[in-house]
Copies of this chain bind each other. A is one copy, B any other.
Amino acid sequence: MSQTASQSPAVPDPSTLPALRVAVLGAGTVGAEVLRLIAQQGDDLAHRIGGRLEVIGISVRDRSKDRGEHVPAALLTDDPSALVREADLVIEVMGGIEPARSLLLEAMAHGASVVTANKALLAQDGAALYEAADDHGVDLYFEAAVAGAIPLVRPVRESLAGDRIQRVLGIVNGTTNYILDAMTRTGLGFQEALTSAQELGYAEADPTADIEGHDAAAKASILASLAFHSRVRLADVHCEGITDVSAQDIAAAARMGRTIKLLSIVERIEEENGERISARVYPALIPHTHPLASVSEAYNAVFIEADAAGSLMFYGQGAGGAPTASAIMGDVVSAARARVRGGVGPRESRYAELELIPLEELRSAFYVSLTVQDRPGVLAEIAGTLSGHGISISTIHQELIDSGADGQEGRAHIGIATHRALESAMTASLDMFSSTATVLSIDSVLRIEGE
């Protein structure tokens, strides 16, 4: 098989290519992997960029800590502000809102392009970052902020830029997927599964951001902003975590041929007088046959539905040092190419400014689990309350808990799956259940998706 090298223009010696000064903010797991990739692929990256990446400093809180061979002590600094002012490119992997936000604004004001994995910052104050990038003619890239190594930001804001996205639905938090998957496989309760995930390094010591859905909500806000050309902030995303999902819910879902996943859903809703959008995160029952049902452990997977493209699915590792670093380095190459060759990357696109639809105006199918008095007429009362609010039942499962003794009343469990109904109608039904003696407790209310 002949090669064309001899006829082609010579490949330049990478050492002759112009240098780009790179500042790295943060040297945790992801930062160390970014530095490893830069060190190990130096010449490759230089060829791909048309310029050499020269790491001029790595800002850390503790300069005395040994961080391995790819994080040279000589480059460590505790003055990130001085560092970013000298850089052409700033890679931010420190996380948190401050000082990350101020440092990135300062970096852009001094002419640096920025690559960040900071979903919380983007979700909370992305507008300020976008505006700074615009004002100073620099680039802002953030592929690593959503779904780790899976290319998602770029497909949404570039590949599908000529299409009309209707919906993005996916599993974008690996920790909660690991926990729910463990509960499904083993029958464990939430707390036991969380503890096991923490022991295995899949959940952090303080798991709040993951298990309460905040991390998935931040990603939903980023995806919604890109998909619908509107500003959607973290506060705009309806967010429910997985802490209330019980072993009983998982078992009930399985009985109905479904499994429970924490879903991030952003959606365009066409209405008579135009359109609104929705961004929400909650645990939901999906059919076993749905491709997302088989996404196991800490993997992420995302569906995108667009008018012309149809359904697309993306699957891969959503977290971890190396996968996140891969996404960051793709952005670094893009930003660096633009430095060398001129031009700017995609800007914020928010011309549509679509309004968010309040949750109560959405329509969903529900799974409701109740503990009720075990006596004739209870089922009719429950069904009557639902139908009185325009909610029709798709399946119902009743099971005796105890038949009562010593003058105590018997108790039964009722699990109901409904057809799609207004959220406000379900809220009103639940209010009635709360105030009737028939219903002893409302154990779970979960949505059903992906039918």
Q: Give the nearest-CB partner of A301 in chain B.
A: B313
Residues of B within 8 A of A187 (CB): none
A163:B37 contact, CB within 8 angstroms? yes
Residues of B within 8 A of A151 (CB): 151, 154-155, 159-160, 312
In Å, the complex CA distance between A33 and B162 comes to 12
Residues of B within 8 A of A313 (CB): 313-316
A8 at the interface (CB under 8 A from B): yes
Give, as a whole number of angstroms, the nearest-CB distance from A122 to chain B: 15
B3:A231 contact, CB within 8 angstroms? yes
B163:A326 contact, CB within 8 angstroms? yes
A306:B326 contact, CB within 8 angstroms? yes
A356:B1 contact, CB within 8 angstroms? yes
Assembly stoichiometry (copies): 2
In Å, the complex CA distance between A229 and B5 comes to 12
In Å, the complex CA distance between A5 and B358 comes to 18
A149:B309 contact, CB within 8 angstroms? yes
Most chain B CB inside 10 Å of its own CB: which residue of A127, A161, A311? A161
| Majority SS at the chain A contact face | mixed
Tally of A interface residues using CB under 8 Å: 71
A329 at the interface (CB under 8 A from B): yes
Cβ-neighbour of A161 out of B161, B229, B325, B330 (below 8 A): B330
A47 at the interface (CB under 8 A from B): yes
Q: Which of A346-354, A386-394, A408-416 contacts B (4 or more CB under 8 A)?
A: A346-354
Q: Which of A67-75, A335-343, A424-432, A436-444 contacts B (4 or more CB under 8 A)?
A: A335-343
A229:B47 contact, CB within 8 angstroms? yes
In Å, the complex CA distance between A371 and B41 comes to 52
A355:B1 contact, CB within 8 angstroms? yes
Give, as a whole number of angstroms, the nearest-CB distance from A17 to chain B: 11
Q: In residues 227-250 of chain A, which contact B (Cβ within 8 Å)?
A: 229-231, 236
A11 at the interface (CB under 8 A from B): yes
In Å, the complex CA distance between A163 and B337 comes to 15
Known: A4-B231, A158-B154, A358-B1. A326 touches B353 (CB 8 A): no
8 further A-B contacts with Cβ under 8 Å, apart from A307-B322, A308-B326, are: A3-B231, A151-B160, A155-B155, A160-B326, A162-B329, A162-B331, A291-B315, A308-B329
Residue pairs across A and B with Cβ atoms less than 8 A apart, 29 shown, are A1-B236, A3-B355, A4-B353, A8-B231, A8-B350, A8-B353, A11-B350, A33-B308, A48-B161, A48-B351, A143-B159, A149-B310, A151-B160, A155-B155, A158-B333, A159-B327, A160-B330, A161-B329, A161-B330, A162-B326, A162-B328, A162-B329, A163-B326, A306-B326, A307-B322, A313-B313, A313-B314, A313-B315, A342-B343
